[in-house]
Amino acid sequence: MRSAEVAIFVTRRDRGQVLIVHRSPSLGSYWHTIAGGVEDGETAAQAAMRELHEETALDGVRLAPVDTVVEYAYPLSEEPPERRDRFTPGLMAVNVDCFMVEAPDDWEPTLDFEHDAYRWCTPDEAVAALRWPATADALRRLLASP
Q: Is the model's pLDDT at 122 over the cut of 70?
A: yes
126/115 Cα distance (integer angstroms): 16
CA angle 78, 79, 81 (to 5 degrees): 115
Per the structure, how many domains does the chain have?
1
CATH code for position 127: 3.90.79.10
pLDDT digits (tens, 9 = 90+) for 36-46: 999 989 999 99
Could you tell me the residue range of the domain that residue 27 belongs to? 4-144
Among 2-6, 17-21, 114-118, the least confident range: 2-6
pLDDT digits (tens, 9 = 90+) for 44-96: 999 999 999 999 999 888 776 545 568 888 988 888 788 788 888 888 888 99
Q: What is the pLDDT of residue 3?
A: 81
